Each structure stands twice: as structure tokens, then as C-alpha cells.
Amino acid sequence: MARIPYMMLDDRTCLVTGASRGIGRGIAIELAENGADVIVNYRSSETEARAVRDEIEAGPGRAVLAQADVSNYDEVQSMYEAVREEFGELDVLVNNAGITADKKFVNMTRDDWERVIEVNLGGVFNCTKVCYEDLRAAEEGRLINISSVVGQQGNYGQANYATTKSGMFGFTRTIALEMASDGSTANCVAPGFVETDMLADVPERVRKNILKRIPLDRFAQVDDIAGIVRFLASRDSSYMTGQVLGVNGGMEW
């Protein structure tokens, strides 16, 4: 029997949340370059999201914009209904959207806590819930949750963020068990420190201290993460489910 070309996604429809910049942008472009139809979700960065769509469509890929605040269930439902008309049923959901509101716990307010929980975990629930039946019905559906090494190690001033990112581990494992009988999978990617706008805002002295903890002696590039997501979205990952992939340059956790 002829093999499908290695990790190609020609017959896959993928929704990437928070895809207008950073890791989400890289994932959306990577999936499209490997043949997928991609839904580029964004909350407020329409200009950046359009640039991602235009870059995809400048090549052989197809993409559509989908505005929604992932923390708002009704908006997510409306987004799903709109993109389903455009591309049909989903095969792959990449839960990437997330925010930070960093403070030492002694200074953290209930609002700081709830805002991060509602986007980072509430958004994962909303998007997965709305897309769940598509993922189950798809031939080898894929749920891919983007977590963080911070969810494994904790991080000073990020009690809210670390809690959401570690919460993804239990969620992923449970959904993996519940979807397994349908032949669909759920996995979690836990990147280390990646060269994005978020890391660029970190003071240089802190960056140097972080770098000392990374055996590979460099920060990740977005492509390092996007390539792992491409693998998980493909049929080559069909026997991997319920896993947390630490893509962190060798950091202990």
C-alpha cells in the first residue's frame, strides 16, 4: 500500500487559536505549508492575523480568518459555525491562545487570577467543547494543546499562568482516554523559552539566567515548536496520545 508523504497534511482542516503572532503564527504557517487548510483565530490583532493569512495564501495553502475571544463560549460557537461553512468539519484543533498577568502571589488580585484562568484554561474548554464532535468523527482527529515548561517547573511571579499550563496536562490526558476508542488523539506540547515578543520583553539579566538553565545553550525558535505540532497533526503520530512533549532544550522538570 502506498504511503502518504511524510507528515503531509493535504486533507486536514486545522483551527489554530491565537494565531496572529508568536508561536501560533508559526504553527499556522507550518501546517499550511504542509498542505492543511488553516483557520487563523485571533481576538483583537486583525492586522497581524491578515498578514498571516496573506502569507499562507501567497503559497499553495488556504486560510481563513476567524475572530473570537476564546474565553467567550458564544463567540467560539459562532466562530466554529462560520468556519465550518467555509472548510467543513475540523480534523485538528490547536489550543494555543493564552495571556499572562504576572505578579508575585502576594500582590496578585482575584481579577489577575481569573483573567488568566478564563483565557488559558477556559479557552481550552470552550474550543475543545465546540469542536469535540468533529475531532471524534474525523479520521484520526487531533487535539493539540500548547502548554509551557512553566507548567512543569513553576515560575516566579506566575502562579496564575503556571496553574493554567499545568492544568492542560490533566485535561489532555483525560480527553485522550475519552477519544481513544474513536481513533483520535490528544497530546500536549510544553515549550521552553521561545524567541517571541514575550521573551523579548524579559530583562537581559533575566534572559541570561534562564539561558544558564538550558543545556542546549539557546532559546527555542518558533520553528522548533511548529515542527513538533506538524508531527502531532499528521498521521505519523497515530500511536501517540495522552503525552506531554517537553520541547525545552533539555531543561529538567
Question: Is 161 tagged catalytic?
Answer: yes
d(CA 76, CA 40): 13
d(CA 227, CA 109): 37
In the set 42, 80, 132, 161, the catalytic residue is: 161
DSSP 142: E
Set of cell numbers at residue 151: 507548567
DSSP 103: B
d(CA 64, CA 40): 6
d(CA 237, CA 221): 22
Set of cell numbers at residue 198: 514575550
Question: In 3D, which of 94, 116, 76 has the Cα closest to residue 186?
Answer: 94
Q: Which residues are catalytic?
A: 161
